[in-house]
Structure 1
Amino acid sequence: MLELSNYNTRDLLWLGDWSLGWVIALGLLGLSVLLFSAYDLRDMRLHRRLTLLGLRASVFSLAVIMLLEPALDLKQVSRVKNHVAVLVDTSQTMSLNVAGEKQRRIDRARKALEDLRPTFEAHHEDHHFDIFTYGDTLTPTTLEAALTTEADATQADLSAALQALPDHYRGKDLGGVIVLSDGIDTGAIGRRVRRGEDLDDASKEILSSLRAPVHTLAADADAGMRDAAISRVRHDDFAFVHNSITVEVDLFFSGIEPQPVPVTLRRDGEILQSQSVQIDPEERRYTVQFEFVPRQIGKEVYTVEVPHFEDEALLENNTEHFVLRVIRDKVRVLQVVGRPSWDQRFLRQLLKRNPNVDLISFFILRTDDTPQLVPRDEMSLIPFPTDELFNSELGSFDLVIFQNFNFGPYNMARYLPAIADYVRQGGAFAMLGGDLSFASGGYARTPIESLLPVELPPAGPGQTITHSEHFSPHLTAAGDRHPITQLAFDPAQNRELWEALPQLQGTNIVTGPSEGATVLATHPTLTYGGQPMPVIAVAERGEGRVLAVTSDSTWRWGFEHLADGGTPREYQMFWNSAIRWLIQDPELKLVRLDVHADIAAPNTPIDATARVFNSDYSPAANAAGKVHVSHRPLEQRSEDTTPPQPTRTLDFQTDASGEHALDLSFEEPGIYHMEVEVEGAGGALRDENLVLVTPNVAQLRDIVPRNALLERIAEHTEGHHTLLPELNPTRLDFNPPRFVEIHQRRVVQLWDSALLFLIVLGLLAAEWSLRRRWGRL
């Protein structure tokens, strides 16, 4: 016997394999039969006609039902509980006090979460209440853990948390969402929807994808908050030296009385610029622009700040620090030529074609002693502007080239010490050969000779130059790998390329390398003191670098090589590499300290690497060195002359690749200067870098709650919004569970029944009997 009490749901099934078309056809057939019967029985009394039609309709209907094979689907089911996601905001702004109170926002959210505990228990038969915290990421947790969690996340990405829910509940039923937050969203919705605006279409699409109500419980209102904040500083990742750069500063003021507020830009503690913003009670957001010109290459720390106001909710967001990398836009080159020549022409064309070079070239065609046959204002040739170039503008050049230039006729002796100082302070200088260069140009025993990487013969009678001799310079061991003379990475191939170059013609006579110089190429036959005479030599002088090429015929490497079926590639590589080395391109330093992040948080590992190369630019394996670290507080002003305080010195030794990964992290905020020092053959090699260590307060740049945003989110999803501490848990409705679990099932076929067959026979018999009685055969 069938126990119906064992099943709690019943559904009617149709087991017959009949399409909808056939069912409609059967229905039309039955209607046709009834209409024909009604017409055939039109002469009978009404009640008799209706009785016969009813019997025939019943028989036909039962026959169709038997053809469709009805069955009863009996099931014992229980509903599967769906999920309600409870999201607790643990970002840094939740640690702030509620406006006008001493209670923190996170404490108010915790109190609401505790008040919801009975609601969770009362609905446990229909819903799983899953607790999450969110800040940087969405993190599952427990109710007890959420009641004690701290608000310290550096982001408040509510948008990402909501977008993660569909994937988290893939294949499951989400019945609702509860958000406990101050409404500040650093994610997509918060960035797109400004204060006072409605949700945009993209934000609505994110919310609609949940297909569940989102109930929002606001931890604080957006009224009564008093705060002045630098919400954002927009600047390029790098700037060009001697070129203007613009820094835009976005400001946010809440609860500040109408007044002018100064906004100050500092560079390494020194005030660079200051602007004023007039506070309007109807406006909260402002933008100011600072435009300035960086004067030196490297990293510089800048600070933007607004003053502190009484009773501000937070002071950390009144200041913003950032690091600006200053690089070269173009290499400024001063080329001074004593006489036009093929060598000068080729080098000038090379420099002019280089888009990264800003060339100023002077051809000396007349001197102050040249006779004037016409008035000065009618002459097209102006005297050489020595005072302007070497007194006022010298520091603006990255490289100075003296090419076959004799300084004597231009009364330049008094400027030579300035050129020497320019080099020792970081400038670059190159002297190229010719009959007006080196000793032939009178540079012996001058400040310029003290710069040169070669020694000059003493003044007086004697040969100082050869004019007609052709020769091919021989690379030294250092020249095999030095970037200036490295035309190929493989030393053997590099020598083959040098041997295939056209020969040079003529050279200035020098007496050997000077102290600390590196000889890259020598003359094949000329010697001095038994040693080959240098032809190409380099040296570091103070903070700057110098190059000497004793021949004025390097142009042959481009012109004659091209005529012989080659290319001017080697000529171009030589001079481009020489310029890069002279201006101290960071990629060509023998010691490099690379720091891969300019800004780091306290106690965060810093990715830094010390790289050391030999003088021939091969990796310096097992090189010992030190890293000196000094610290300067962020609050230190330019008027405070206290030098940076040394904090530590790290010893290191490079591996086989000439590298060493430094283990660095700093606890205290500030500017940390790092200098790597390695003893090389020519003395100490150094490089420096800096890291700005500052707490990550990006999430605190906008601390005013966004109660209105939470309200719009709730409205769009048909959820409930309330401002805590007011809370009515009965207003929090969730979607009922949509999924069920079947425990027992049975299908009972209703059409396969003797009783149904007898009923059909009985109806047919009754209809036949009545027709005979009423005279219808």
Structure 2
Amino acid sequence: MIWSVSFSPLVPLAVLLAGAAVALVLSALGGVMRMRGWLLRALAMALVLLALANPAVEREDREPLSSVVALVVDKSQSQTLADRTTTAAAAAETLKERIAALPGFELRVIEAQSSTGSDGTALFGALSDGLSDVSPDRIGGAVLITDGQVHDVPANASALGFNAPVHALVTGTADEFDRRLALQRAPRFGLVGSEQVVTLRLADSGAAQGETDLVRIDVRRDGETVSQRFVSPGQTIDIPVDIAHGGNNIFEFEAESLAGELTTVNNRVVVTIDGIRENLRVLLVSGSPHAGERTWRNLLKSDASVDLVHFTILRPPEKQDGTPISELSLIAFPTRELFSVKIDEFDLIIFDRYERRGVLPMLYFDNIARYVREGGAVLIAGGPDYAEGGSLYRTPLAPILPARPTGRVIERPFHAQISDLGDRHPVTRGLPGGRSDPPDWSRWFRAVDAEVTAGEVLMTGPDQSPLLVLNREEEGRVALLLSDHVWLWARGFEGGGPHVPLLRRLAHWLMKEPDLEEEALRLSMRGSELVVERQTLEAEVTDATVTAPSGRDTRLTFSESEPGLWRASMPTTELGLYTVTDGSRTTLIHVGPQNPREFADVLSTTERLAPVTAATGGSATRLRDVGGDLSVPRIVPLKRAADFSGNGWIGLRTTEASILKGIDRYPLFIGLFGLALLLGALSLVWYREGR
């Protein structure tokens, strides 16, 4: 309860001040002139002015508010090292009990969780959010339970937004030591087949400093060890790496562990280099001019990633019309240069309605078969030529071709159909219009009948005959399109069809585009969520096991999102390398920045928080003493103090905040008391004047 005096003038303040000035002047003149009763006149005028000021006595009924204390518990990844989690939990429970026993204090427990979307530990951000609805004058202090590795420490105490002590209770011990492999420089992209350089630095900190033995660094690409290097602690080393394939090349660099070190998580650095290909080189050989010849040419020329070399055989050797060679404007077909000297420079060779007519000697077909087995790719887009005597199947290419022609050419209208296997294959899955029966695209009118001897049938023609067959031959790939009427789709006949996605996917599958692999396990990040995709031609898939950077395993069950494509997802709470395996395939993904601050320095410390705690009158101390015993300081409530900490204790500020419940007001010059006071003063003046 608080008593006070307030004024509510009955006249404007200017009038009241003017009256006071007049009364003061008259009283001064009366005193100077020694007039009789001037003092009583001054008193009477003062009482009149005071009555006009309308003074009142007020009584405030207030309810005191509790002081809010924040207990911030660090839940970042570095807090999981050694026995820090146990220490923090025990200290938090003890502090909860002690603060709950103090009258007039309200405890708020704030857990600062780690997040893959942020780099480092942000305790003060969590503190600000947790106290955002509390008035600054109610805050009695904050206690941080952490390892001391905090990355959002304010530059000064005024940035906290409140005037109360901040105390830091540090987990971990002073004798910790650790080894760390730090990334200095790494490229983001690299040409496939090129060599890139990654720069690393090995550092030992804490009690481990001074070690001089060489440390082995294992280098792995996509989970397989490719080399080893040796380096001394404190040394920076350049490590060359080869970009083996397109897409993500994930390199791991792992330093051998130091006996007794705090953690081995930061002994490993992961670098993802996106392998990009120089323009893919495609050789297109058209056996003879036909209506669909330009379909392949236009498609490949429109692809910026493709360098196309196109030859059309306009004049086979057997054609003799008497025209002198000197008068011909045709370019001679450089068969030796293309199919012997430079054949390995091409990523794909396409034979479009090619008929064997003596242009290519049999030896060159042997070279093409070898080229495929060693990693090359061949696509045959055949028409009647594939069924006749000049068929490519009647060359040394036959052992690598997936279908044998029967010699029959089917010439009647039909719709190309996607097979059950084709529904699940990335080359033909989801082609626009393919879901309806018949498909919502134009008819074709010719197909070559063939017997499949190897590979996978993705599309069928009339009478369920094979239309598109893919096969892997040792290191290379082969595709066979048993119709030359795909150009009808390109021309828009009967509405056309999806020739662009079909032919482009087909060409890129042959050139080993990673996204078109029919059996693959892929990882990606969607915000902080890890998405696992399993591409397969099988009807069922097995569960996947996700291993987090800390070694914790999580089992994921897939669900089919599209035919042949299964997905599963999980939230990520740790930074670093995640490993996913389904038993037969293993893949990796790095979550977070390449050099996460969370693991840049994992040794517990009081130095980071000492400036801000000292500026608020608090302290930064360790929870465990030299012997390893847990020592939680006592809590002492203080109203005002220059220092809120001492040996074995920490202080919290008792605030004076309160809620106003009501006000009682008692006017002094209203009523009989005021009237009697004024009449008494006037009577005294009259009495004095009458003498």
Whether the TM-score (by the shorter chain) exceeds 0.5 is: yes
Higher relative contact order (CA 8 A, sep 6+): 2
Q: Is the 8 A contact 1:423 1:429 kept in 2?
A: yes
Q: Is the 8 A contact 2:442 2:497 kept in 1?
A: no
1:174 counterpart = 2:139: yes
Q: Is the 8 A contact 2:179 2:204 kept in 1?
A: yes
Alignment of 1:257-656 (within 5 A): 257=210, 264-267=218-221, 268-272=223-227, 274=229, 279=234, 292-296=241-245, 302-309=251-258, 312-320=261-269, 333-337=282-286, 343-361=292-310, 384-390=337-343, 392-393=344-345, 397=347, 399-405=348-354, 413-414=362-363, 416-417=365-366, 419-420=368-369, 423=372, 428-433=377-382, 439=388, 441=390, 443-456=392-405, 472-476=413-417, 478=419, 484=428, 486-492=431-437, 494-495=439-440, 497-499=441-443, 514=453, 518=457, 520=459, 522=461, 536-542=467-473, 546-550=478-482, 554-555=486-487, 557-559=489-491, 561=492, 570-579=498-507, 582=510, 623=539
Partners of 1:764 and 1:134 in 2: CA distance: 74
Partners of 1:364 and 1:498 in 2: CA distance: 29
Partners of 2:420 and 2:172 in 1: CA distance: 71
User: Which sits farther off after the overlay, 650-659 or 84-93?
Assistant: 650-659
Q: Corresponding residue for 1:26?
A: 16
1:704 counterpart = 2:603: yes
The letter of the residue matching 1:82 is: S
% identity of equivalent residues: 20
Partners of 1:31 and 1:575 in 2: CA distance: 102
1:215 counterpart = 2:159: no
Q: 2:68 aligns with which of 80, 83, 87?
A: 83
Partners of 1:59 and 1:672 in 2: CA distance: 91
The alpha carbon displacement at 1:547 in A equals 3.3
Partners of 1:362 and 1:257 in 2: CA distance: 68
Q: Is the 8 A contact 1:298 1:326 kept in 2?
A: yes
Q: 1:9 aligns with which of 2, 16, 31?
A: 2
Alignment of 1:189-208 (within 5 A): 189=152, 199=154, 207-208=159-160
Partners of 1:105 and 1:401 in 2: CA distance: 64
The letter of the residue matching 1:174 is: I
Q: Is the 8 A contact 1:626 1:650 kept in 2?
A: no
The letter of the residue matching 1:558 is: A
The alpha carbon displacement at 1:689 in A equals 4.8
Q: Corresponding residue for 2:25?
A: 35
The alpha carbon displacement at 1:304 in A equals 1.0
SS of the residue 1:708 aligns to: coil
Q: Corresponding residue for 2:52?
A: 64
The letter of the residue matching 1:229 is: R
The alpha carbon displacement at 1:489 in A equals 3.4
Q: Corresponding residue for 1:150?
A: none
Q: 2:130 aligns with which of 159, 165, 170?
A: 165
Q: Corresponding residue for 1:124?
A: 102
1:738 counterpart = 2:677: no
The letter of the residue matching 1:518 is: V
Q: Is the 8 A contact 1:30 1:60 kept in 2?
A: no
Partners of 1:231 and 1:303 in 2: CA distance: 12
The alpha carbon displacement at 1:26 in A equals 1.2
Q: Is the 8 A contact 2:137 2:655 kept in 1?
A: no
Q: Corresponding residue for 2:148?
A: 183
Q: Is the 8 A contact 1:334 1:360 kept in 2?
A: yes
The letter of the residue matching 1:674 is: D
Partners of 1:716 and 1:630 in 2: CA distance: 45
Partners of 2:129 and 2:478 in 1: CA distance: 60
Q: Is the 8 A contact 1:182 1:218 kept in 2?
A: yes
Partners of 2:94 and 2:498 in 1: CA distance: 80
SS of the residue 1:303 aligns to: strand
Q: Corresponding residue for 1:645?
A: none
The alpha carbon displacement at 1:34 in A equals 3.6
Partners of 1:364 and 1:328 in 2: CA distance: 30
Partners of 1:220 and 1:519 in 2: CA distance: 61
- Relative to the length of structure 1, the TM-score reads 0.63
Q: Corresponding residue for 1:144?
A: none
SS of the residue 2:654 aligns to: coil
Q: Corresponding residue for 2:205?
A: 254
What is the total number of aligned residue pairs between the two structures? 637
Q: Is the 8 A contact 2:417 2:434 kept in 1?
A: no
The alpha carbon displacement at 1:445 in A equals 3.6
Partners of 1:297 and 1:62 in 2: CA distance: 93
Partners of 2:195 and 2:301 in 1: CA distance: 24
Q: Is the 8 A contact 1:116 1:729 kept in 2?
A: no
Deviation sequence 1:659-705 (CA, Å, 0-9, x none): 878899xxxx99665367xxxxxxxxxxx4546899xx975552133
Partners of 1:520 and 1:720 in 2: CA distance: 74
The letter of the residue matching 2:419 is: A
SS of the residue 1:494 aligns to: coil
User: Which sits farther off after the overlay, 720-729 or 55-64?
Assistant: 720-729
Unaligned runs of 5+ in 2: 571-576, 626-632, 634-644
Partners of 1:58 and 1:657 in 2: CA distance: 98
Q: Is the 8 A contact 1:299 1:323 kept in 2?
A: yes
SS of the residue 1:709 aligns to: coil
Partners of 2:502 and 2:88 in 1: CA distance: 69
SS of the residue 1:491 aligns to: coil
1:760 counterpart = 2:659: no
Q: Is the 8 A contact 2:110 2:127 kept in 1?
A: no
The letter of the residue matching 1:124 is: L
The alpha carbon displacement at 1:175 in A equals 1.0
RMSD between aligned alpha carbons? Answer: 5.8
Q: Is the 8 A contact 2:521 2:587 kept in 1?
A: no
- Relative to the length of structure 2, the TM-score reads 0.70
Unaligned runs of 5+ in 1: 1-7, 98-103, 138-153, 191-198, 281-285, 459-463, 524-530, 614-619, 636-648, 677-687
Relative to structure 1, is the Cα distance of residues 47 and 749 closer, same or farther in structure 2, using a 3 angstrom cutoff?
Answer: same
Partners of 1:271 and 1:481 in 2: CA distance: 36
The letter of the residue matching 1:738 is: E
User: Which sits farther off after the overlay, 711-720 or 416-425?
Assistant: 416-425
The alpha carbon displacement at 1:336 in A equals 3.6
Q: Is the 8 A contact 1:213 1:717 kept in 2?
A: yes
Q: Is the 8 A contact 2:285 2:354 kept in 1?
A: yes
SS of the residue 1:748 aligns to: strand
Relative to structure 1, is the Cα distance of residues 108 and 743 closer, same or farther in structure 2, using a 3 angstrom cutoff?
Answer: same
Partners of 1:70 and 1:492 in 2: CA distance: 94
Q: 1:228 aligns with which of 171, 179, 189?
A: 179
Partners of 1:74 and 1:31 in 2: CA distance: 33
The alpha carbon displacement at 1:487 in A equals 4.7
Relative to structure 1, is the Cα distance of residues 346 and 651 closer, same or farther in structure 2, using a 3 angstrom cutoff?
Answer: closer
Q: Is the 8 A contact 1:673 1:690 kept in 2?
A: yes
SS of the residue 1:296 aligns to: coil
